[in-house]
Amino acid sequence: MKYSYLSFGFLVGLVGACVLFSFFGPDASSGSDVLRLKVAHSQPVNHPIHAGIENFAERLALYSGGTMELTIFPNGQLGSETQTLEQMQTGSLALAKVGGATLGSFIPVAKVFSLPYLFDDSEHYWSVLNGPIGRDLLNELSAVLPGQASGFRGLTYYDAGSRNFYAKKPILSPADLTGLKIRVMNDPVAIDTMKALGASPTPIAWGELYTALQQGVVDGAENNPPSFVSSRHFEVCKEFSFDHHSRIPDVLMVSEKTWNALTEEQQGWMAQAAADSSEFQRQAWADGVEAALAKMEAEGVQVHEVDLAPFQKATESVRARYASDQLRGYLERIQAAK
C-alpha cells in the first residue's frame, strides 16, 4: 500500500510538471527561478521600436530583481504581426508589438486608430493615448466583442508617428493624388481613405514595395520618415509631403494566458516596465525622426508641409462611415478632447 501511495504521488507530480511545461512550452522556463519569456516585433534592430522593447526588457529585469527575462525576436523572425497575435492567443508566444491597423482586423473597436485625421497633432494624440480614453481602448483589446475574449491584452502604446505621402511628384493637395496608385496597408480604413482622396489604393507587402516603386507598379506610398529612410525608398521617391493623414500607434501586447500565469506582483512589474518603456521609446522615436529628416535632406528629398484642410474635408465620409456603435463613442470622445 505504501508503494502504491508513493507511485500515485509520483505520477501526480509528473502529470503536473507536464501540464506546466506544455503551457509555457518553448516560450518560457523557470530554471534557476528565472521566468524567461519571448517578445516579438517586425522592425529591424536599429528601429526605435526595438530600442523601446530593449528598454522594456531592462526595466522588467530591474523591477523583478532579475527573476523575469525577455528574449527579443526582431525582424519578424517569429512571423507577421497577424501570426504573432495568433501565437499569443494559443499561449505559445508571451508578448509582441503589433500595429494598431493589424489589431483592427481582430478587434473591431481598434479600427478607430486608423480613422483619418482623428488627431489634430502629436500633442492631441498623446494626451488621448496617455489619458482615460487611451486606457479604455487598451482594456477593450482584451475582447473581440463584449463577452468574447481576444486572447491577449494591451500593455502600452509606442509611437509610430504620422503617416504621410511620398512619390516621384509633389503631393500638395488631394487633387495631386487623382489617379495615382498609392501603396497602402491591407486595411479597410486605409483603403477607403485613399479612395476618398482620389487615389487608387494598392495593397502591397512592405518588403516588395521598393521594387514596386522602382518599376512603376505603384506611383507612391505613405509612411513615416524613419520607415521611409530605413527602407531606402528615398532612392526612388524624392518628394515627401507631411499631410499627417493618420496617427496609428503601435501597441505592446501580452498573451492572456501568459498574463494569467503571472503573480499579481509580476503583473505589476510588467505593467510598470511597459509604461517606462513607452516614455523611452517616444524619445527614441523623436530622435529617429530627426535623424531621418537629416538623411532625407542629404539625399535630396524635397519635404513639403501641406494645407491639411482639403485633406480633412475630403475624408469626412470615411470618418462618418466607420463611426458606428463603439467607434462612434470613441470618435466623439477623442474629438471632444481637443
* pLDDT tens for each residue of 280-303: 999 999 999 999 999 999 999 999
322: confidence class by pLDDT, cuts 50, 70, 90: confident
Tell me which H or E stretch contains 222.
Answer: strand 220-223
- The 10s digit of each residue's pLDDT in 151-169 is 999 999 999 999 999 999 9
Short-list 290, 310, 307, CA closest to 298: 290
Q: Has residue 256 been placed in a domain?
A: yes
Q: Has residue 14 been placed in a domain?
A: no
Residues 129 and 81 in one domain: yes
Q: 22 pLDDT exceeds 50?
A: no
Residues 243 and 253 in one domain: no
Residue 328 is given by DSSP the state H
Pair type for strands 148-149 and 152-158: unpaired
32: confidence class by pLDDT, cuts 50, 70, 90: low
Q: Has residue 127 been placed in a domain?
A: yes
Query: What are the φ and ψ backbone dihedral angles of 240, each rounded to 5 degrees?
Result: -125, 125
Residues 47 and 115 in one domain: yes
The rounded percent of the chain whose pLDDT value lies above 90 is 80
The pLDDT value given to residue 338: 80
CA angle (330, 277, 265) in 5-degree steps: 90
User: Of 255 and 326, which is predicted with more confidence?
Assistant: 255
The rounded percent of the chain whose pLDDT value lies above 70 is 90
C-alpha cell recorded at residue 321: 462611415
Residues 131 and 106 in one domain: yes
Q: 186 pLDDT exceeds 90?
A: no
Residues 200 and 67 in one domain: no
Q: 207 pLDDT exceeds 90?
A: no
Q: 174 pLDDT exceeds 60?
A: yes
- The 10s digit of each residue's pLDDT in 115-140 is 999 999 999 999 999 999 999 999 99
Q: 11 pLDDT exceeds 50?
A: no
Residues 44 and 176 in one domain: no
Integer angstrom CA distances of residue 316 from 5, 25, 118, 157, 305: 72, 48, 10, 26, 21
Q: 10 pLDDT exceeds 50?
A: no
User: Cα–Cα distance between 174 and 164 in angstroms, integer?
Assistant: 13
Query: What are the φ and ψ backbone dihedral angles of 58, each rounded to 5 degrees?
Result: -65, -45
The pLDDT value given to residue 146: 80
Range of the domain at 170: 163-247+297-336
Q: 3-17, 39-53, 118-132, 283-297: which has the minimum mean pLDDT? A: 3-17
- Give the list of residues 6+ apart from residue 6 with CB closer than 8 angstroms, or none: none
- Over residues 209-222, the mean pLDDT reads 97
The pLDDT value given to residue 27: 52
Q: Which CATH number characterizes residue 96's domain?
A: 3.40.190.170
User: Cα–Cα distance between 256 and 25 in angstroms, integer?
Assistant: 15
Q: 14 pLDDT exceeds 50?
A: no
- Give the list of residues 6+ apart from residue 268 with CB closer than 8 angstroms, or none: none
Residues 138 and 78 in one domain: yes
The pLDDT value given to residue 323: 82
Q: Has residue 146 been placed in a domain?
A: yes
The pLDDT value given to residue 326: 74
Report yes or no: 217 and 181 within 8 Å, Cβ to Cβ: yes
Crossing angle (nearest 10°) for helices 132-140 and 122-129: 60
Q: Has residue 137 been placed in a domain?
A: yes
The pLDDT value given to residue 34: 95
Number of domains composing the chain: 2
H runs (alpha helix) in the chain: 2-24, 48-63, 81-90, 100-104, 122-129, 132-140, 188-196, 209-215, 225-230, 256-261, 264-298, 308-314, 316-322, 325-336
- Mean pLDDT (the chain) is 90
Residue 108 is given by DSSP the state G
The pLDDT value given to residue 25: 40
pTM of the predicted model as reported, rounded to 2 decimal places: 0.86
Residues 262 and 125 in one domain: yes
Report yes or no: 41 and 33 within 8 Å, Cβ to Cβ: no
User: Cα–Cα distance between 204 and 219 in angstroms, integer?
Assistant: 12
105: confidence class by pLDDT, cuts 50, 70, 90: confident
- Over residues 219-245, the mean pLDDT reads 96
Q: 215 pLDDT exceeds 60?
A: yes
Residues 39 and 155 in one domain: yes
Q: 69 pLDDT exceeds 60?
A: yes
Q: 89 pLDDT exceeds 60?
A: yes
Q: Has residue 89 been placed in a domain?
A: yes
C-alpha cell recorded at residue 278: 513607452
Residues 174 and 88 in one domain: no
Q: Has residue 187 been placed in a domain?
A: yes
Report yes or no: 241 and 304 within 8 Å, Cβ to Cβ: yes
Full 3-state SS string of 143-211:
EEECCEECCEEEEEEECCCCEEEEECCCCCCHHHHCCCEEEECCCHHHHHHHHHCCCEEEECCHHHHHH
Tell me which H or E stretch contains 70.
Answer: strand 68-73
Residues 110 and 146 in one domain: yes
Q: Has residue 328 been placed in a domain?
A: yes
Q: 61 pLDDT exceeds 90?
A: yes
327: confidence class by pLDDT, cuts 50, 70, 90: confident
Residues 208 and 331 in one domain: yes
